[in-house]
Amino acid sequence: MDKLVEAIRKFDNPSVVGLDPTIALLPPQLFAGAREIVGDIDTVKGRALWAAMVNAKFLEFNRSIINAVKDIVPAVKVQIAMYEALGPAGMMAYVETCRAAHEAGLHVIGDIKRGDIGSTAAAYAYHLSGIPRPNSEIFQAFDLSGGASENTSQCKCLADDERDEGKPDASREELGFFPWYEDSVTVNPYLGTDGIAPFVDAAQQADKDIFVLVRTSNPSSDEFQELMSDNDQRVYEHVADKVMQWGSDSVGDEGFSRVGAVVGATHPRVGASLRARMPRAMFLIPGYGAQGGTASDVAAMFDVHGEGAIVNSSRGIIGAWRKDPAYNSALSIEDSLQLVGMNARRAALDMRDALNTALKERS
């Protein structure tokens, strides 16, 4: 997490902008004429054209936000669900969004919430370590090599070779070794250690990080996470202890391991207790703004130095333009996107200031 900690310090801003576009969050003028272009939406062609168009608009929208905030925030969190909902073209919009953020110098958190049995988790973990080698386990399992390769025992990724040769990230990108442009991803711990270990290994190989869901922000999260086990511990407390264990071999210079924790801003008391329980875990805190979390709710989730956490807001920042009286439907596409960017910037600055004030006030 050293790079993320450094980026937060550089901007004096422990917040992350969530790029979770929906059609309702985009200015309607971006879709002017869409009906005519798409034709009948209930045909395969119409639906495919619509998805391609929406994805192109998502990308345009995201780029205007990235440009507007790149000099004031350290990171973006890109929620893959919003893109995946639009099919294969959506995945390209996801990747291109991550790439635009990466090229703008931002730390990119891929909110992909993966988790599966070990062998499948190993395949998902290539999000971090790059496209697998032809002789990696994932290809061997299906014998795509025609039995030619000898090496079946190791799941070795392309990034290994690059790292061995000491090549910088840029050359990895050129070679297609780093296709997702994510610096970290979110993972779901429900399957236990064998579902997480491949992500920890991949993060270690590729010098990246993961964030494990520990105490999520949503209303139903109590159903399982608050359950009490025999030894008087809540389920989320068990997960927290596992997160510490999973990260124990990867504590960086800044004192945080590669294995961070997702803790919702909507649980201030629990968040504070988790801070004490997980001193080496960086917290990714969603639930600020649109879900009701405030700066004072999250202040106790930072460590004594006011570090160790990054707070996400998605709708509250990318949808801020909708409250601006300067918006009107007659604005050109260009002007509407400028308004989107200006409002996102203002909302991001307000969030930064609110967090820094709450951190000062608590001491």
Ligand X SMILES: O=c1ccn([C@@H]2O[C@H](COP(=O)(O)O)[C@@H](O)[C@H]2O)c(=O)[nH]1
Catalytic residues: 113
Separation CA 104–CA 67 (nearest Å): 8
Pick the piece of the chain touching ligand X (CB under 6 A) from 89-97, 98-106, 306-314, 353-361: 306-314
Separation CA 23–CA 318 (nearest Å): 12
Pick the piece of the chain touching ligand X (CB under 6 A) from 101-109, 117-125, 309-317, 354-362: 309-317
Exactly one of 20, 96, 116, 182 binds ligand X (CB under 6 A); which one? Answer: 20
Nearest distance in Å: CB 133, ligand X: 32
Smaller CB separation from ligand X, 177 or 211: 211
Instruction: Reduce the secondary structure of 186-253 to three states and give it as a string.
Output: EECHHHCHHHHHHHHHHHHHHCCEEEEEEECCCHHHHHHHCCECCCCCEHHHHHHHHHHHHCCCCCCC
Exactly one of 257, 312, 336, 343 binds ligand X (CB under 6 A); which one? Answer: 312
Is 27 a binding residue for ligand X by CB under 6 A? The answer is: no
Q: Collapsing DSSP states into helix, strand and coil, what is residue 361?
A: helix
Is 205 a binding residue for ligand X by CB under 6 A? The answer is: no
Smaller CB separation from ligand X, 206 or 318: 318
Is 264 a binding residue for ligand X by CB under 6 A? The answer is: yes
Is 297 a binding residue for ligand X by CB under 6 A? The answer is: no
Pairing of strands 209-215, 184-187: parallel
Is 313 a binding residue for ligand X by CB under 6 A? The answer is: yes
Look up residue 174 and give its amino acid.
Answer: E
Exactly one of 15, 64, 97, 217 binds ligand X (CB under 6 A); which one? Answer: 217
Distance of CA 221 to the CA centre of its chain: 19
Nearest distance in Å: CB 117, ligand X: 22
Secondary-structure percent of the chain, ordered helix, strand, coil, rounded to 5: 50, 15, 35
Is 268 a binding residue for ligand X by CB under 6 A? The answer is: no
Separation CA 185–CA 179 (nearest Å): 14
Is 21 a binding residue for ligand X by CB under 6 A? The answer is: no
Look up residue 277 and give its amino acid.
Answer: R
Is 260 a binding residue for ligand X by CB under 6 A? The answer is: no
Contacts of 228 (CB under 8 A, 6+ apart): 234
Is 18 a binding residue for ligand X by CB under 6 A? The answer is: yes
Is 291 a binding residue for ligand X by CB under 6 A? The answer is: yes
Look up residue 167 and give its amino acid.
Answer: K
Separation CA 306–CA 355 (nearest Å): 10
Nearest distance in Å: CB 108, ligand X: 14
Site for ligand X in 41-100 (CB under 6 A): 79
Per the CB < 8 A criterion, the answer to whether 362 and 59 are in contact is no
Exactly one of 314, 336, 352, 359 binds ligand X (CB under 6 A); which one? Answer: 314
Smaller CB separation from ligand X, 27 or 286: 286
226: left (phi over 0), alpha (psi -120 to 50) or beta: alpha
Q: For residue 157, what is the DSSP state?
A: B
Q: For residue 142, which phi and psi values (nearest 5 degrees)? A: -105, 10
Pick the piece of the chain touching ligand X (CB under 6 A) from 115-123, 232-240, 302-310, 311-319: 311-319
Nearest distance in Å: CB 18, ligand X: 5
Separation CA 63–CA 80 (nearest Å): 16
Nearest distance in Å: CB 232, ligand X: 24
Contacts of 347 (CB under 8 A, 6+ apart): 313, 316, 317, 320
Nearest distance in Å: CB 313, ligand X: 5
Residues that bind ligand X (CB under 6 A): 18, 20, 79, 111, 216-218, 262, 264, 286-287, 289-291, 312-316
